[in-house]
Amino acid sequence: MKGVAGSKESNDCLITIESSNETKIEINSIVGAFFYDQIYSTIENTLKNENITDVHVIVEDKGALDYTIKSRLLTAIERMREDV
């Protein structure tokens, strides 16, 4: 199962989430030097709140703020759930 949301426009991010046999978060951000940890914990916390485990998340970030990252991830999760 797989879900994708967002874009690679400036100030946005493209998030891909896919079921896997373990949880893995991969972040590729233009502002990673400054905000890697924050992006990581936003993803981690959102997955936790949604009770999701065993997924592979890929974040391609172009400087999105945390609420953008969170909403893109939630949408990607919805799409993954619909993708049967």
Partner 1 sequence: MINGVGRYIPDNLKPFISSDNYQGIPRKQIPKKTKVENTQFVENISTIFELINIKSNMTLSFHHHLRNGDKVIQIVAEEIKNRNLLNMHIAPSSIFPSYTNLVDLIKNKNITNIHTNYLNGEVAKIISQGYLDGELIMNTHGGRAVVIESGELPIDVAFIACPVVDKNGNGHGAIGKSACGTLGYAISDLEYAKRVVLVTDTIVENLEEYQIDGKFVDYVVKIDSIGDSSGIVSGTTEVTKDPIGLKIAKDCANLLDYLGLIKNDFSMQTGAGKTSLAVVKFVNDLMVKKGIVGSFASGGITKAYVDMLESNLFKSLYDVQCFDLDAVLSYAKNKNHLAMSASEYGNPYEDNPICERLDFVILGATEIDLDFNVNVTTDSLGNLIGGSGGHADIAHGADVTIIISPLVKSRIPIIKEKVMTVTTPGSDVDILITERGIAINPRRVDLRQKLKNSNYPIFEINELLEMTHKITGVPRKIETDDKIIGYVQYRDGTFLDCLRKVKDEY
Binding mask 36-65 for partner 1 (x = CB under 8 A): xxx-----------------------xxxx
CB 82, min distance to partner 1, A: 30
- For helices 32-49 and 66-82, the axis angle rounded to 10 degrees is 40
When binding is defined by CB under 8 A, the residue of 34, 48, 81, 83 that contacts partner 1 is: 34
Tokens of 83: 């993708």
Backbone φ, ψ for residue 45 (5° rounding): -65, -40
Residues making contact with partner 1 (CB under 8 A): 10-11, 30-31, 33-38, 62-66
